[in-house]
Amino acid sequence: MKNNQYALILAGGIGSRFWPVSRTTYPKQFLDILGTGKSLIQNTYDRFTQIVPKENIYILTNESYFDLVNQQIPGLHPNQIIGEPVMRNTAPCIAYGCFKIKQLCANATIVVAPSDHLILDTPAFISTIKTSLAVAEQNDCLITLGIQPSRPDTGYGYIQYNNDTLSENLFKVKTFTEKPTLEIAESFLLSGDFLWNAGIFIWSVNSIIHAFNTHLPDISEIFTEGNGLYNTPSEKEFIQACFQKCTNISIDYGVMEKANNVYVMPSEFGWSDLGTWASIYELAHKDDVGNAVIHPDNVVMIESSNCMVNVPKDKLVILQGLHDFIVVEANNTLMISPKAKEQSVKQVVADVKSKYGSKYI
C-alpha cells in the first residue's frame, strides 16, 4: 500500500428509497440490509482497508451520524470522520475532503466511493481501484468507473464513451445521461458504448482541485480559505461557516459533466447500487415461486409469488394471494406496494412527511 493513496467514503445520505427500514436517524448505509452480518458501510470500509492504509480512509458524513460511524467502525481517529454541518449534495463535501487531504499530502491520489453499494467480487474491485489509482497518479485526469449494463434499467445514470484512450481499458467520456426513459435506455444498450454510472471516482488531489477551480470556482474559493486550518482545532468552526455559503450541487453535474479530462473504466465486479427494494429482490435468495423473504422463519406465503418481504423477526406474517409486491415493515410502519411502483417510494416518503411530519420518517 502507498502512503499517498486515500479513500473518501460517502456516508451522508438518508436512504429514503429503503423506507420504512431506513430512517433519517438510522439510514441505509448503517443497516445490514442483505442479512450478511455487517452493515453496508462496514463492508465498504473493509474493502478499502485492502487498498489504502487504514489511517488514510476518511468517512464523509453528516454531523448527526458521527456516533453511528464510531459505533460501526471503532478505532477511527476523530480526524477521519469528516462531518458536513448541513446537507449540500456531493460537490461541497467532496471538495471539503479533498482540500483536507491536500493539507496532509500534497501529491495524494484519492478514490471516492459511496458507502451503501454492493460489491460481490472484492478481488476484481480491488484490482480495478488499484489500477485506476496508478493511472491517476501519473496523469491529469478524472476517472469514473462504469458498469457493463445487463438490462435497460431506468434507475441508473449512463456514461457514453468514445475510442480515445488514456491507457488500456480507460476511455474518454463523451456524455453523461441521468435516468433515461425505457426507450432511451434500450437504445443505449443496443449502441454498445454506454455503461452504468457507478458513482465511484479516482483522481489526484491536484487534478480534482484544479477541476473545482475551473468548473465550480465559488466552491473552490470557499474551501481555499480554509488552507492552514484543515486538520487543526480551527477546522470545525471554519467548516460550520463555509458550508452555509455552498450551493447544493452534485459532483456529477458540477464537475464531471463539464470537465474535458474525464475517463471511464468499463468494470465488472458484481456491482449494485442497492437503490431500491427491487434491487434487493434481484439479489436475494428466492424460493421456487420467486418469493424473496429476508427472515423466512416467521413468514408464511400462500398462493403468492415474486414478492419481496422484509418484516420483523418477532412477528408472524401470512401473505395469501399476493403477486409481485413489496411488503416491508419496520419502525411502526407497514408498506405494501407493487414492485412496479418501487421507484415511487421516495415520493411516498415525501407524502408521509407532508401529512404526518417527521414522526414516521
Instruction: Give me the architecture of the 5-272 domain, per CATH.
Output: Alpha-Beta Complex (3.90)
Q: Where are the domains of the chain?
A: 5-272, 277-356
The residues, any chain, with a CB within 8 Å of residue 37's CB and separated by 6 or more, are none
Q: Which of 191, 190, 254, 269 is nearest to 219 (CA)?
A: 254
Tell me the residue type at 98.
Answer: C
pTM equals 0.91
Per-residue pLDDT of the chain (361 residues; tens, 9 = 90+): 889 999 999 999 887 888 898 888 899 999 988 778 899 999 999 999 999 999 999 999 999 999 999 999 999 999 999 999 988 999 999 999 999 999 999 999 999 999 999 999 999 999 999 999 999 999 999 999 999 998 888 888 999 999 899 888 899 999 999 888 889 999 998 888 999 999 999 999 999 999 999 999 999 999 999 999 999 999 999 999 999 999 999 999 999 999 999 999 999 999 998 888 888 888 888 999 999 998 888 999 999 999 999 998 888 999 999 999 999 998 889 999 998 887 788 888 889 989 998 888 8
Cα distances (angstroms) measured from residue 135 to each of 263, 285, 306: 11, 38, 44
The C-alpha cell of 252 is what? 456529477
Cα distances (angstroms) measured from residue 227 to each of 221, 240, 251, 338: 11, 15, 21, 51
Backbone torsions φ then ψ of 201, nearest 5 degrees = -125, 145
